[in-house]
Structure 1
Amino acid sequence: MARPAVRRGAALGLGMLWWWAVLRLAFAPGAGVLEAAVAAGGWGLSVLPVHCVPRAQAAGAVGPERWRGAWRAVRTTTASPLRRSDAGSGPW
């Protein structure tokens, strides 16, 4: 019972701190490094995937043997090389 309340309280408090930093950066002329660090750190945390599971438990996960086979099958490009200036006449 106490754990969800603590989590919600921490999330609310950290969210308020992040919004304070963002709004201070946007509107206060004296905002500095502390506000920028809090805003950038909060944004960076929001980009993290939070619904991750170990690879062995993930539905549809690709096994290591398939990755090895895919990397071995990589071929170099088959595009033709650029012509040198002394290679003869061309369309240009």
Structure 2
Amino acid sequence: MAALGLVLAGLVGGALWWWAVLGLALVPERTGLLEGILAAGGWGLGLLPVHVTPHRGPRRGAAAGRG
């Protein structure tokens, strides 16, 4: 039941984001502050997982020999 709620919340959030992005792209003179915030926030959250994951590549420098 909780998984269904999460999926539904994700779908609603995605639909709101697309509504804001399409509004900004197709009719920029009629969009407001809310649409801009929604579009920019969704775009920023889309990039977040890429930038917050730790790098698992080979270590270099003085710390490479430890642990």
TM-score with structure 2 setting the length = 0.70
Question: Which amino acid is 1:44 matched to?
Answer: G
* Sequence identity percentage: 44
- 2:14 is the counterpart of 1:15: yes
Counterparts of 1:32 and 1:61, CA distance in 2: 47
- Shift of the alpha carbon at 1:36? 0.7
CA distance in 2, matches of 1:61, 1:9: 40
Residue 47 (structure 2) aligns with: 47
User: Residues of 2 paired with 1:36 and 1:61: CA distance?
Assistant: 40
In the comparison of the two structures, how many residue pairs are matched?
A: 60
Q: Which runs of 5+ in 1 are unaligned?
A: 68-92
CA distance in 2, matches of 1:6, 1:61: 40
How far 1:60 sits from its partner (Å)? 6.7
Structure 1's consecutive aligned runs of 4 or more residues displaced over 4 angstroms after TM superposition are 59-62
- Unaligned stretches of 5+ residues in structure 2: none
- Report 1 or 2 for greater relative contact order, CA contacts < 8 Å, sequence distance ≥ 6: 2
Are 1:66 and 2:66 matched, yes or no? no
